[in-house]
């Protein structure tokens, strides 16, 4: 698999990443093993997780499987801190104490002395300088090699990046993670320009529109899908509304004409969008992942890219 440089940093990753949101919950240990094995065999390197995924169980499973299937130095492990679900409620705590506690727990669960990329999971109430001081400490102590942010909006990203650049010796931001797909193009307004201005890599999550762009929901909600589950239905529902159907049908039509699957068309549009480093794939099985990996030698014709731009929100301002 082709690799890409993460922004202006020295870090390089595969141009597709493997997400672990569902590991140890909707994805069984054996499914995770098969998915990771398939990803590694395709020379994939970037694996994204978080302290909050499965209340830490996703990290435990990932640490065990990496120990069995790969050499630590051959993978790029990215994790996140500052977010948790407690008593059914989402809690964001980006204080220095909470962040460093989360990172120490992540290292223990992953069975490693360091992570390659440590990200703040969300903007919190703690002063941004306190949050970023935790990142500086983690880099100095060798707990992480690079740092980034996740789910920040444009001005938050710019403020954090500027703060880190203001004084020599601070750990510069390397990347940002954001939802980005044909059904979620808000990142083009401020986040992608901010990433370009500050030399940040971009890791889109849900590049397949929370699964809707695969076309599996065109006629019904399949049994066993995320939209049919108690804990993920809320996540998918916003993209099952009428305004999304035209985009889904356009992707399906393009896929038919190109002899590809809708998944592949939607993924290629994101993977090769300006500024993108690596979309994060939430495949639950090796079979689901295989279709995405089959895009390695493919690109979309410029005419199709333009048509998908138009139907999903208009011309991409950073494209060419």
Residues designated catalytic: 53
88/17 Cα distance (integer angstroms): 28
- Alpha-carbon distance of 251 to 261, in angstroms, equals 9
Asked whether the beta carbons of 209 and 279 are under 8 A apart, the reply is no
Dist CA 29 CA 51 (whole Å): 18
With the C-alpha atoms ordered 299, 304, 310, 314, is the resulting torsion angle positive or negative? Answer: positive
Please, what is the Cα angle at 76 between 70 and 80, to 5 degrees?
120
Instruction: Give the C-alpha separation, 25 to 129, whole Å.
Output: 35
Q: How far is CA 263 from CA 187, 249, 282, 286, 288, in A?
A: 21, 12, 12, 15, 10
Q: With left for phi above 0 and alpha for psi between -120 and 50, is residue 269 left, alpha or beta?
A: alpha
Angle between helix 128-140 and 154-166 (nearest 10): 50
Query: Is 175 within 8 Å of 203 (Cβ atoms)?
Result: yes
């Amino acid at each position: 698999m082709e690799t890409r440089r993460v922004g202006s940093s020295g870090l390089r990753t595969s141009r597709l990443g493997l997400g672990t949101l569902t590991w140890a919950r909707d994805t069984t240990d054996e499914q995770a093993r098969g998915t990771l094995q398939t990803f590694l065999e395709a020379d994939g390197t970037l694996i994204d997780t978080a302290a909050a995924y499965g209340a830490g169980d996703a990290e435990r499973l990932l640490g065990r499987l990496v120990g069995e299937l790969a050499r630590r130095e051959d993978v790029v492990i990215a994790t996140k801190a500052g977010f948790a679900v407690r008593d059914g409620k989402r809690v964001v705590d980006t204080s220095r104490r909470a962040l460093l506690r989360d990172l120490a727990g992540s290292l223990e669960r992953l069975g490693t002395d360091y992570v390659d990329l440590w990200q703040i999971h969300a903007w919190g109430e703690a002063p941004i300088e306190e949050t970023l001081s935790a990142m500086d400490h983690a880099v100095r102590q060798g707990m992480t090699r690079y740092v980034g942010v996740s789910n920040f909006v444009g001005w938050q990203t710019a403020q954090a990046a500027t703060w880190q650049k203001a004084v020599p010796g601070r750990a510069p931001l390397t990347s940002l993670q954001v939802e980005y797909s044909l059904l979620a193009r808000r990142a083009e307004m401020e986040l992608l320009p901010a990433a370009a201005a500050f030399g940040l890599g971009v890791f889109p999550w849900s590049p397949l529109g929370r699964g809707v762009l695969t076309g599996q929901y065109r006629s019904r909600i399949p049994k066993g899908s995320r939209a049919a589950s108690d804990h993920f239905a809320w996540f998918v529902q916003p993209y099952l509304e009428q305004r999304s159907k035209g985009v889904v049908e356009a992707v399906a039509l393009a896929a038919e004409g190109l002899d590809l699957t809708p998944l592949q068309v939607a993924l290629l549009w994101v993977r090769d969008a300006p500024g993108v480093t690596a979309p994060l794939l939430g495949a639950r099985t090796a079979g689901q992942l295989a279709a995405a990996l089959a895009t390695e030698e493919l690109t979309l014709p410029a005419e199709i890219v333009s048509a998908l731009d138009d139907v999903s929100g208009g011309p991409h301002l950073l494209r060419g």
